[in-house]
Amino acid sequence: MTATSSCPTASQAAPVNLVIFGATGDLAMRKIFPALASLCQNGLLSHDTRILAVGRTDLSADEYSNLLGEKLAQAIPPSCLADLVPRIRYLRLDPDEPESGYTLSMALGDLDRETPKNRLFYLAVPPSAYIPLATMLGEAGLGRESEDTSVRIVVEKPFGRDLATARELDTVLHRYFKERQIFRIDHYMAKETVQNVLLLRFANALFEPVWNRRYIDHIRITAAETLGIGHRAGFYDQAGVLRDMFQNHMMMLLSLCAMEPPSIFEAELVRDERSKVFRALRPLDLERLDEQLILGQYGPGMSGGEAVPGYLQEPGVRPDSITPTFAWLKVYLDNWRWQGVPFHLCSGKRLEAKHTEITVQFKSVPVSMFRKSRDEVIPPNRLVIGIHPDEVVRLEVQTKGQGSQLCLQGQSMEFSYGAGSGLGRLDDYAKVLLDCITGDQTLFWRQDAVELCWGFLTPILDRCDCPDSELPLHTYVAGGPGPKAAQRAG
């Protein structure tokens, strides 16, 4: 398939004072600084943008520059690092100290001395630090915007650990910031092929007429990982796969597959439509939960040719932990378009391959007119939207196999993103960071959607968290296909 037009590249964002809390941490080093470097490299970061890297560790400017050099050497080309580092200033700050808000205001005042700039506060810290930091910013008056400059705050999922804590976090954020100032990041939304779901659906007349309960049998959304929990036991053992992957990424993918077209592609209208999907989620029947939910936990096995420990043997995991690392969940949406169509959501760690994809399975033809000659059963059409590692859109159809006999042959019509020029392409974090700087909220979670998803999942989580729950937790071999029960379920 050939591309018929190329995308204009984004233009340079207005200068900003970017404050990164957690600036010595994993998220900042692995994702945020490389994303900034990528913006820099693509000419999208203004020369006047300044970065205030904030951490609790006592480091001199030189020590912090050395740390950056050391941690980012692999991820960022040296020329890019040389461009970025002079714009970064390190500030040691302990938000628990009463004068921390004042210290931060002074540091920002220094950065603003030439011209006041927009401000962006990025909370790259553990979720338990969101409320204290938002409070510190708010109490120091740093949430207030002026006529000419904006103030934005960025938080990463998880937004709470259930409905009550999500609301608690939101109350504090809203005490000091307006909804339009709050950017709740879901990096899945910045993936090219994820965004492509809406383009594919709503920029083609071909798919939409069949995109409903009449023609679609089911939709399957898979996010399988080969990695285990790494060094994240502290977080993961409290969260599990439902909080880590379902409340956010999987729900977001579901909403893109199921939403109605907004009248125009604008942040609030798109977000309205996504929320309507979550509002239509049919509550699970808790008495028959095992028909719609299969949970698993990986045992020891082989991954990438190496023996790997089971979840319970991972350092930092409670030896009797019942935290699921795998889930298969069947959900229904109670609305006209989707009544009766199951959505199978499946995600797990330590599976045999890393792959993220959406499969739309259409209904079978009503009857096979070829049944007398050869084929009794005609496989249904499928539209596969590959997100990782293959960024493809593949339509699986039936054709005539070559030869004198009448026989069916499955064929794929495929478009591969990877084969494109990649010009102007930004990685996930660079894209969302640019949107935070320019103030485009289309790809971010709005609080009503967060609460609707927690409202749906919290009763299930209460069951899963309960040691006396009768829900089975299936052990699966690391590096394998996942629990057998889930493979049977589809």
> Binders of ligand BG6: how many residues, by CB under 6 A?
5
Of 436, 187, 221, residue with least CA distance to 348 = 221
| Residue with Cβ nearer ligand BG6 (357 or 396) | 357
Would residue 51 be called left, alpha or beta, if left means φ above 0 and alpha means ψ between -120 and 50 degrees? beta
Does the annotation mark 249 as catalytic? yes
Enumerate residues 6+ apart whose C-beta is below 8 A from 26: none
Task: Check whether 56 is labelled as a binding-site residue.
Answer: yes
Tell me if 349 sits within 8 A of 229, measured CB to CB.
Answer: yes
Do 245 and 375 meet the contact criterion of CB atoms below 8 Å apart? no
On whether 225 is known to bind a ligand per the annotation, the reply is yes
The 199-238 site mask, x for binding ligand BG6 (CB under 6 A), equals ------------------------x-x-------------
Instruction: Judge contact between 156 and 27, C-beta under 8 A.
Output: yes
Signed CA dihedral, 447, 448, 452, 453: sign only = negative
Give SS3 for 306. Answer: strand
Under the binding rule (CB under 6 A), the answer on residue 244 touching ligand BG6 is yes
Contact residue for ligand BG6 among 17, 222, 275, 356 (CB under 6 A): 356
- Cα–Cα distances (Å) from 426 to 22, 29, 37, 336, 419, in that order, read 23, 17, 11, 37, 16
In the bound state with ligand BG6, the residue whose beta carbon lies nearer, of 29 and 223, is 223
The answer to whether 349 is a known ligand-binding residue is: yes
Across-strand partners of 297?
A: 475
Q: Of 45-84, which residues contact ligand BG6 (CB under 6 A)? A: none
Q: Does 314 bind ligand BG6 (CB under 6 A)?
A: no
Q: How far is the CB of 465 from ligand BG6 (least distance, A)?
A: 18
- Which is closer to ligand BG6, CB of 71 or CB of 388? 388
- Ligand-binding annotation for 314, yes or no, is no
> Which residues does 168 contact at the CB level (< 8 Å), separation at least 6?
131, 160
Q: Is 363 annotated as a binding residue?
A: no
| Pair 292, 285: CB distance under 8 Å | yes
Per annotation, catalytic residue among 174, 218, 231, 249? 249
**For residues 133 and 223, which CB has a smaller minimum distance to ligand BG6 in the complex?**
223
Task: Give the distance from CA 151 to its chain's centroid.
Answer: 24
Instruction: Pull the structure tokens for residue 117.
Output: 């700039």
Instruction: Give the span between the Cα atoms of 483 and 331, in whole angstroms.
Output: 19
d(CA 159, CA 453): 11
Select 13 or 461, whichever has its Cβ closest to ligand BG6. 461
The response to whether 31 counts as a known ligand-binding position is: no
> Smallest distance, Å, CB 22 to ligand BG6?
15
Q: Are 13 and 408 in contact (CB under 8 A)?
A: no
Please tell me whether 220 is known to bind a ligand.
Answer: no
Q: Which positions from 363 through 392 interact with ligand BG6, judged by CB under 6 A? A: 388
Residue 24 lies near ligand BG6 (rule: CB under 6 A): no
State the nearest-atom distance from the C-beta of 77 to ligand BG6, in Å. 22
* Nearest to ligand BG6 of 162, 225 (CB atom): 225
Query: Nearest distance from residue 68's CB to ligand BG6, in Å?
Result: 24
- End-to-end C-alpha distance for the chain, whole angstroms: 31
Residue of closest CB approach to ligand BG6: 244
Q: How far is the CB of 352 from ligand BG6 (least distance, A)?
A: 16
How far is the C-alpha of 1 from the C-alpha of 135, rounded, in Å? 52
What does each C-alpha distance from 143 to 118, 133, 175, 180 come to in angstroms? 11, 11, 9, 12
> Cα(323)–Cα(229) distance, rounded to whole angstroms?
12
* Nearest-approach distance from CB 484 to ligand BG6, in angstroms: 23
Helical segments of 117-160, H only: 130-139
Q: Which is nearer to ligand BG6, 174 or 388 (CB)?
A: 388
The response to whether 428 counts as a known ligand-binding position is no
* CA 452/CA 456 separation, integer angstroms: 6
CB of 70 to ligand BG6, least distance (A): 24
Annotated binding-site ranges:
56, 157, 187, 191, 225, 244, 349, 354
Residues that bind ligand BG6 (CB under 6 A): 223, 225, 244, 356, 388
Annotated binding-site ranges for substrate:
187, 191, 225, 244, 349, 354
Residues classed as catalytic? 249
Annotated binding-site ranges for NADP(+):
56, 157
